[in-house]
A and B are shown apart, each in its own frame.
Chain A
Amino acid sequence: MRPTRCTRAIGAAVLVLLVFSLVFDDAAAYLPAAALAFFLVYRGILFDRSLRTVVGSLTVSRTASRMILRQGSTVDVTARVAYHLPDHTTLTLRDRPPAGAILAGGDLSHTATEPGAGSADVAYRMKVMTRGEIAFGGVGVTLADRFFAADIDLAGDGRTAPHLIVHPAGAFEKEAGSGSYGEAEHRTRSAVSGYTIHSFREYAMGDDPRRIDWKLSAKHQKLFVKEYTGQQGDLPLIIVDMPERTLDAGGAEVGRIVSAASGALEEAIGEYRSVSLLVISGGNIIRFLESERDIHRVMAAAGAMEPTERLVHFYYARDKVGIRAKRSRVERDRGIAAEESPERRFCANLAEIYRSVQEEQTQTAFELQVGRAMASTNAGTVYIFSRFSGDCSHIWQIVTQARRTQKDVHLRVPEETASPGMLRSLLHAGVASVEVI
């Protein structure tokens, strides 16, 4: 329970009058001080009773559009809260989503002033970022009258129901055929793409749902997508890397990236009659438009680009090529260092660490998806629009894959984040061009 501004002012008046009566030994000042003190106690007792009435009468019935979902997907939640509100009080209810959930729409709170029995529907949409069996946080209640206010979180008595089961969005992909028998579907990165099916593979996050083969999926009880063959060309693949929304809502540079990418998309579709767009945020695929011919769809996708939440983080992880290069450099240094010297021991330990990392490192889902995107679009040139700040591991993974398949990589950096040092390091990464936008 906390006092309002009015109560604090009355309390200050009580204090002044009490000090006055004590210093001057004056009963005249004591009388209103004592009366006001009793008044505050009286209001405090009444408020406590009101709070107990509200809390005791409050019931919550919550429904979620889906109980079993995948990490990062959205759920519509409706919480119906019934209560009894005493006179002259204001009640603010806040539904508390599970820990780690992000509000994607709607309003979590509801304010009631009408006394008596009432109910409120709190409807919102949230994005679930945690995994496992998760519960709601309960209901937050703020009750206030003219003299006092109190906050209380109610979490017991089924107020955290229902529990959602969230399956993780995997960061790593199982190696094809590395398990036991039965994994006969073999993925082949094709340099060509078109309109004839040349193979099937298991569905991976980011794949176009239109490519799902429903007959095969029904037969094997898991989703399979079609791989096409055919069309040759030198189409550009435009990759737009959006920043993480929870850490940085983005500023002018995000607008600049989107604007420049939109211009590039428009130009590409005008020149090549089709364009491929891959929207990523760190190591997360947000959207993939494969050889899209409809300019309206391309522009709609460009307009929807915004900072987003990241489910997968690479934490400055190096790819296999980078680790191998580091290891060979360390092993070379070890060969140069003197026998039994501390430098030699250090290099030996470091080389051992790199070797272990290299052995254990598995291919990430992101790497695989980007590889498929590059192969399916038959892109000859890759344009990357990014801020190139913070963790750029995903960018280096894309650059490595593009170089491995002999594609030219062009980097586009917004003016706000570009610095001479950064541009130098980007140019040293072996890309065809770096341009400030």
Chain B
Amino acid sequence: MREIILPAGFVIGALAAAAASDIWYLTVILLGAFVLTERTVHGDGRSFSLLCAGEAVVVAAAAAGIAPALLLQVILLAYFLRLEGFLTARAEAVGFLGLCGAVLLLYPMMLASHHMLLPVLLIGAVLAGAYIALWLSGHQLKTAYSGGDTP
């Protein structure tokens, strides 16, 4: 029963977004593709296929408004993680709430910016900064623990 809460929430949210959209038919078609994927695709690539199908629905829903698209995005990520076997412990849920907070921060930023150049550059900078930080962390770990005590 608990397994269908997230996909059901996603479908209801997408239908609600479609109702307020000029291109409601596109949202409904993409939602149909998502449901079809959910019912038919099994095996190792199931979670990633659903993520891709869901992202298409999010893009269509974003045409109606940023807020419902953000909500759908959060539900989709939670569903993806559940399919991968994550979000089973309280600590993981807390970490995921942090991610949700970061995603919701996009809302005021997108309202403030009229063009996409600066937000795209900002995401590029975030990714590059995170990559460098994680690389340095890994390097520091290797340096700290690889010190040989060979004679």
Q: Contact between A28 and B63 (Cβ–Cβ < 8 Å)?
A: yes
CB pair A34 B95 closer than 8 Å: no
Which of A1, A6, A33, A39 is close to B99, meaning CB atoms less than 8 Å apart?
A39
**In the complex, are the beta carbons of A32 and B58 less than 8 A apart?**
yes
Q: Is the CB of A13 within 8 A of B55?
A: yes
Determine the residue in chain A with the shortest Cβ distance to B55: A32
Chain B, residue nearest A139 (CB):
B145
**1/0 per residue A11-23: CB within 8 Å of B?**
0011001100110
Instruction: Determine, out of A156-164, A210-218, A284-292, A415-423, the stretch whose residues face the partner at the interface.
Output: A156-164
Q: Contact check, A25 vs B115: say whether CB atoms are below 8 A apart.
A: yes
Indicate if A135 sits at the interface (CB-CB under 8 A).
yes
Which of the four size classes fits the interface of chain A? Answer: 35 or more
Per the bound structure, the CA–CA distance linking A98 and B135 in Å amounts to 29
Interchain CA distance A155-B116 in the complex, whole Å:
48
Q: Of residues 81 to 106 in B, which have CB atoms within 8 Å of A's CB atoms?
A: 84-86, 88-89, 92, 95-96, 98-99, 102-103, 106
B14 smallest CB distance to A (angstroms): 13
Q: Nearest CB to that of A99 among chain B residues?
A: B150
| A283-324 residues at the B interface, CB under 8 angstroms | none
Decide if A156 touches B123 in the complex (CB within 8 Å). no
Closest Cβ of chain B: how far from A99's Cβ, in Å?
9
A6, A38, A152, A156: the one within 8 Å of B147 (CB): A156
User: Which residues from chain B contact A146 at a C-beta distance below 8 Å?
Assistant: 84-86
Q: Which of A14, A25, A42, A135 has the most CB of B within 10 A?
A: A42
Q: Nearest Cβ in chain A — how far from B64, in angstroms? A: 9
B116 touches A31 (CB 8 A): no
Given contacts A44-B130, A44-B134, contact A153 B103 (CB under 8 A): no
**Is B41 engaged at the interface, CB distance under 8 Å to the other chain?**
no
CA distance A26 to B126 in the complex (A): 20
Assembly CA distance A91 to B115 (angstroms): 45
Pair A155/B149 contact, Cβ less than 8 Å: yes
* Structural contact, A21 and B116, CB atoms closer than 8 A: yes
A48: chain B residues within 8 A (beta carbon): 134, 137-138
Chain B residue at smallest Cβ distance from A47? B134
A22 with B117, Cβ < 8 A, contacts A33-B123, A52-B141, A155-B147 known:
yes
Task: Tell me whether A69 is interfacial, beta carbon within 8 Å.
Answer: no
Residue A88 interfacial (CB < 8 Å): yes
**B149 / chain A contacts, CB cutoff of 8 Å:** 135, 155-161
Given A1-B135, A41-B127, A152-B142, check contact A35 B77 (CB 8 Å). yes
The one of A32, A46, A88, A155 that contacts B148, using a Cβ cutoff of 8 Å: A155
Given contacts A38-B99, A155-B146, contact A31 B66 (CB under 8 A): yes
**Given the complex of chains A and B, what is the CA–CA distance between A33 and B95 in angstroms?**
20
Question: Would you call B151 and A38 a contact (CB within 8 A)?
Answer: no
Pair B98/A156 contact, Cβ less than 8 Å: no
Contacts of A160 in B (CB 8 A): 148-150
Question: Which A residues are in CB contact (< 8 Å) with B96?
Answer: 42
B113-144 residues with Cβ-Cβ distance < 8 A to A are: 115-117, 119-120, 123-124, 126-127, 130, 134-135, 137-138, 141-142, 144
**Distance between A193 CB and nearest chain B CB, rounded to angstroms:** 46
B36 interfacial contact with A, CB 8 Å: no
CB distance from A124 to the nearest CB of B (A): 20
B59 part of interface (Cβ distance < 8 Å): yes
Let me know if B20 is at the binding interface, CB within 8 A: no
B134 touches A1 (CB 8 A): yes
Partner of B145 from A6, A45, A156 at Cβ < 8 Å: A156
Instruction: Indicate which residue in A18, A26, A150, A156 contacts B138 across the interface (CB closer than 8 Å).
Output: A150
B69 at the interface (CB under 8 A from A): yes
Q: Is A9 an interface residue (CB 8 A)?
A: yes
Distance in angstroms between the alpha carbons of A86 and B141 in the assembled complex: 17
Check A31–B123 contact: CB distance below 8 A: no
B12 part of interface (Cβ distance < 8 Å): no
Query: Shortest CB–CB separation between residue B34 and chain A, in angstroms?
Result: 13
Interface check B28, CB cutoff 8 A: no
Indicate if B110 sits at the interface (CB-CB under 8 A): yes
Among B48, B106, B142, the residue within 8 A (CB) of A34 is B106
Could you name 24 residue pairs across A and B whose Cβ atoms are closer than 8 Å? A13-B52, A27-B110, A28-B63, A28-B69, A30-B110, A32-B62, A35-B73, A37-B126, A37-B127, A39-B99, A42-B98, A42-B102, A45-B134, A87-B89, A88-B85, A133-B151, A135-B151, A152-B141, A152-B146, A153-B146, A154-B145, A154-B146, A155-B148, A156-B146
Which residues from chain B sit less than 8 Å from chain A, CB to CB?
A: 48, 51-52, 55, 58-60, 62-63, 66, 69-70, 73-74, 77, 84-86, 88-89, 92, 95-96, 98-99, 102-103, 106, 110, 115-117, 119-120, 123-124, 126-127, 130, 134-135, 137-138, 141-142, 144-151
**Across chains A and B, which 9 residue pairs bring their CB atoms closest together, nearest first?**
A28-B62, A156-B147, A155-B148, A41-B130, A135-B150, A42-B99, A35-B73, A32-B55, A38-B102
New contact pairs (18) apart from A45-B130, A152-B138, A160-B149, CB-CB < 8 Å: A21-B120, A25-B115, A27-B62, A31-B62, A31-B70, A37-B127, A39-B99, A40-B127, A40-B130, A44-B134, A45-B134, A138-B146, A153-B146, A154-B145, A155-B146, A156-B146, A157-B145, A160-B148
Name A residues whose Cβ lies closer than 8 Å to a Cβ of B. 1, 6, 9-10, 13-14, 17-18, 21-22, 25-42, 44-46, 48, 51-52, 55, 87-88, 133, 135, 138, 146, 150, 152-161, 163
